[in-house]
Amino acid sequence: MKLILKIWRQASPKDEGGFQTYHLDDASQDMTFLELLDALNEKLIVEDQDPVAFEHDCREGICGSCAMMINGRPHGPGEETTTCQLNMKAFRDGDTIIVEPWRARAFPVIKDLVVDRSAFEKIMEAGGFVDVDVSAVPDANTYPVARRDAEEAFDAAECIGCGACVAACKNSSAMLFVAGKVSQYALLPQGQMEGLQRAWNMVAKMDELGFGSCTNTGACEAECPKGVSLAHIARLNRQFLKAGFKKVGEEKN
C-alpha cells in the first residue's frame, strides 16, 4: 500500500514548525498507525534524517499517550479507538494522511507530535485526596453502592486522560476530562466528604491553566476513545454550583 504522509514537524517549543511530506511505498494494512510511524522512522534513520517524535507506551489503548490528530480527527477515523489501536485498514492505497499534534494552548508542543499534557496532572492534583477508612479491612457490604451508580462510576473512571476531548472541542475545554474524574468519586460514598471542594478546585485549576469553556456541542463525547458520556458534565456542573452556594453561605456566616 502506497501512502503520502503530511506530518507536522517542530524541532522545539520555540520553533514555528510546519508540515513535511513523506512517501511510503510498502505500508501494510495489517499495521497499526504507530507501526506505520515506526516504519517511517526506520526509513528516515537509514536516510540519516531526524525521526518523527511521537509519544507511546502501552500500545494497548490504556495509557492515553499516543495522542495525535489524524486527518482532522483526534486518534483518526473510527469510533472509540486510540491511535495505537487504529488499524491501517481504515485507509486505502494512495491516500494522503495528515498528522499533527493536539492544538490547545494548555497543551504546548514539545516536539513534532509530542505535546505537554501535564496540565491534566495539575488538575488531578488540585482535586486533592479521598477520605477512606484504612483501619481494619471492612466487610464487603460496609459501603453499599447501587449497581447503577457503581457501573456509572466505572464508566467515568475509564477516562485515560489522552486529551482527545480537548483537541476535539472548538474551545479546547477540558470539561469532559474533569467531569469524568469528578464523577468517578461523586457517585461513591468514599468520595462524598471532599466532593464539592474537589469539583470547585478542579474547575478553577482548569480555568487557570487556559482551557476554554464548555458549550455542550458534544464533540468531546464523539471523539472520546473510551466513550465517556457527556452526562458526566451535567453532574460536574451540579457539584460546582453546590460548592458555590456553600461558599456563599459560609461567607455570610
Helix H segments across the chain? Answer: 33-46, 118-127, 147-157, 164-168, 175-186, 195-208, 219-223, 231-252
* pLDDT on residue 144: 81
**Same-domain pairing of 13 and 54:** yes
* pLDDT on residue 145: 85
**Same-domain pairing of 7 and 98:** yes
Q: CATH number for the domain including 237?
A: 1.10.1060.10
Q: Does this model's pTM top 0.85?
A: yes
**Same-domain pairing of 147 and 73:** no
Check whether 140 has a pLDDT greater than 70.
no
Of 84, 110, 136, the one marking the end of a domain is 110
**Same-domain pairing of 143 and 188:** yes
- The whole-chain average pLDDT of the chain stands at 92
Residue type, 47: E
* pLDDT on residue 87: 95
Of 81, 110, 139, the one marking the end of a domain is 110
The mean pLDDT of 111-132, rounded to a whole number, is 92
Tell me which residue range forms the domain holding 78.
3-110
Check whether 57 has a pLDDT greater than 70.
yes
**Same-domain pairing of 147 and 82:** no
107-116 pLDDT tens trace? 999 999 999 9
Check whether 138 has a pLDDT greater than 70.
no
Higher pLDDT, 194 or 17: 17
Domain count, the chain: 2
pLDDT band at 223; cut points 50, 70, 90: very high
**Same-domain pairing of 128 and 102:** no
* pLDDT on residue 213: 93
Check whether 143 has a pLDDT greater than 80.
no
**Same-domain pairing of 229 and 134:** yes
**Same-domain pairing of 160 and 182:** yes
pLDDT band at 91; cut points 50, 70, 90: very high
**20-21-26 Cα angle (round to 5):** 140
**Same-domain pairing of 91 and 127:** no
Check whether 251 has a pLDDT greater than 90.
no
**Same-domain pairing of 48 and 77:** yes
**Same-domain pairing of 139 and 94:** no
Of 53, 88, 110, the one marking the end of a domain is 110
DSSP assignment of 24-57, as one string? ES---TTSBHHHHHHHHHHHHHHTT-PPPP---S
**Same-domain pairing of 35 and 100:** yes
Q: CATH number for the domain including 83?
A: 3.10.20.30
Query: Cα separation of 60 and 88, whole Å?
Result: 16
Measured from the Cβ of residue 92, the count of other Cβ atoms closer than 10 Å reads 10
Check whether 190 has a pLDDT greater than 90.
no
* pLDDT on residue 9: 98
The mean pLDDT of 222-235, rounded to a whole number, is 95
Query: Cα separation of 216 and 219, whole Å?
Result: 8
Contact 186, 195 (CB under 8 A): yes
Contact partners, residue 29, CB within 8 Å, separation at least 6: 1, 87, 88, 89
Check whether 68 has a pLDDT greater than 80.
yes
Query: Cα separation of 224 and 217, whole Å?
Result: 13
* pLDDT on residue 132: 66
